[in-house]
Chain A
Amino acid sequence: MALSRRRFLLTVPLTGLGAACSSALPRLHGGAPLEIATSKPAGPAKGTILVAMPETVQTREVWTGLRDELARDYDLVAVRVEGREAAADIAAAMARYRPNGVVLMNNPTVAAYRAYQQQSGQERFPPAVVVMTSFFDGHLPQLVTATGISYEIPLITVVTNLRKVISSPVEKVGVVVRPSLRGFVQRQAALAAREQVQVIEQPVSASPNSSEIKWALRRLKHHIDALWILNDDRLLTPRLIVDGWLPGLNERPYCATIVGAAALVSPQQSFGTFAVLPDHTALGVQAAGILFDLADNNWALPAGAPVQLPVSTTTTVDLVQVRERFTLRADGLQHVDRIVE
């Protein structure tokens, strides 16, 4: 390959692969909340929705989806929340706007909101809808009155997207998994079984080294049609990518790899074949649907309200790798959003 592995890594943002990256703007410290966007309906508002978010391209897209759905009926206020330490900013916003519903974007914002709830001394809170938060599926992170949409794309959706692009069958999907994420993988496998997808797990230790990654890939690749690489920061460290993943993936037999970060799909280095990511604008629309349902329920969160899975995705493909190693369906490229070559 023209680009060295280490140079490839310089192009890849390796922290928080599954979450929106926060910008490095200065935080507020308990003063007036910083509004970064607002929207009011032409007529009387049916209520107020507070959106707590960092400012990133992705959060702006979610905001757009929310605003387009809700702006006819509700006052919308987006306030900047940067980092886990922003509980005071959230408290100020909650006191000022007294929202009927809250939207929380990304892991640090959820952590800050959790701290706000714990510090507030209150027992009742408006319902919160959590989005863009990694591995939210299956449990709510100790929030009071919260639901949301998990950030990971369901494997069943990933496989369906892949089947539209490459002509070889996708029936057996391998995954390298640490103990802490086996529950997540097993829930995904149960869902994917509806599409006759068999998930083959290759467990590794909680802190695997490069040799263990290469060993896991060698064991898996002979038995699978595609490899699903989890957005697990502990598995995708720079050292493991350079010394474990890349050597393992570039040995024969080749198999299509599906990643959850567009930055991991690069024509200069054969890591991800496909990236399947949330469509962030559609994620905002989906979150708005939850808020409509909450409003219809007088802003009460139904007991046992399930965390939803994201419905809409975007697909990126490494065309160089696909052409070298796989066979495209005749109309395959018409089913991808972004082609890198």
Chain B
Amino acid sequence: MNEAGSEPATGGAEPKLLVFLHTPLKQRAFQGQLQAALPGVAVSAVGRPADFERGLEDHPDAVLTLPMVLAAHHLTATLQGLHRGAAEEAYVLAGVDAAPDPARVATVGVIDVLGREGMSAFVTSLLGAHPKVERVTKVEDLLPLLQLQRVEAILLPARLLEEVAAPSRLSLVPRVLAAKVGLPAVASLGSGGGRVVQGVRRLPPAVTRELGVTEWR
């Protein structure tokens, strides 16, 4: 089942934007926020790789997702998100009470954007090690992995750590990783892609902040 509100848009002349990003907001709220900021664009937000693949089959005019997801699907970015001029952002490995050692951590929780094999390769590329990877499909599910002691550490964009830790009394200690990861980008895929790109360029700061983006190039 797709998550709430994630059916690809159909019909009409509105260009379709497929969004595959993870924020601390529920998918319902995130999609609503984007939809309100993009009048004239049919926005469909999904949270799982399989839903993204199904969404692509519906021929969206544009997709908004991470560059590594675009690369995995042989898509090219038309518009790149930046944060203070940089197209990449820092990731952290966070554990309970102590900063994890990337080389020694045995199990790592991560938000799934590439599937089982893709995420294992991604984690290895960031940590330089081969831990067991536990994938989740929502930002909020990272904390239970630590609470339930399913993993030793979680791997996530540094900007999301405060939000993940907020409802918890656990002491989450991050280790900032040297490798950085690309910020969200837009790929134009169809005839309405140009209109979508124009709309994304004009997204209000309150929305782009959720994406970790301050400007677009």
Looking at the assembled complex, report how far the CB atom of A21 sits from the nearest CB atom of chain B, in whole angstroms: 17
Given contacts A160-B168, A194-B170, A195-B170, A311 and B26 within 8 Å (CB-CB): no
> Is A184 interfacial (CB 8 A cutoff)?
no
CA A312 – CA B145 in complex, angstroms?
Answer: 9
Q: Given A61-B1, A289-B134, answer yes or no on A157-B147 (Cβ-Cβ < 8 Å).
A: yes
Q: Are B147 and A281 in contact (CB under 8 A)?
A: no
B137 contacts A333, CB within 8 Å? no
Residues of A within 8 A of B135 (CB): 285, 289
B83 within 8 A of partner (CB): no
Q: Which residues of A contact B (CB under 8 A)?
A: 60-61, 64, 68-69, 154, 156-157, 160-161, 163-164, 191, 194-196, 280-282, 285, 289, 292, 308-309, 311-312, 333-338
Say which residue of A156, A280, A334 sits within 8 Å of B25 (CB atoms): A334
A-B contacts, CB under 8 A, total = 79
14 contacts between A and B (CB under 8 A): A64-B1, A68-B50, A69-B50, A164-B167, A191-B147, A195-B147, A280-B1, A281-B1, A282-B136, A312-B138, A312-B141, A312-B144, A335-B29, A337-B28
A312 CA / B50 CA spacing, docked (Å): 17
Chain B residues with CB under 8 A of A161: 167
Q: Assuming the A-B contacts A68-B48, A164-B167, are A154 and B138 also in contact, with contact meaning beta carbons closer than 8 angstroms in the complex?
A: no
New contact pairs (4) apart from A282-B137, A311-B145, CB-CB < 8 Å: A160-B143, A280-B1, A292-B116, A334-B29
By size class, the interface of chain B is 20 to 34
Instruction: Chain B residues near A292: list those with CB within 8 A.
Output: 116
A311 touches B136 (CB 8 A): yes
Task: Given A312-B137, A334-B25, answer yes or no on A156-B167 (Cβ-Cβ < 8 Å).
Answer: no
Complex-state Cα separation, A285 to B140, whole angstroms: 16
* A337–B4 touching, CB < 8 Å: yes
Report if B84 contacts A (CB, 8 A): no
The smallest beta-carbon distance between B16 and chain A, in angstroms, is 22
In the complex, what residues of A have CB within 8 A of residue B25's CB? Answer: 334-335
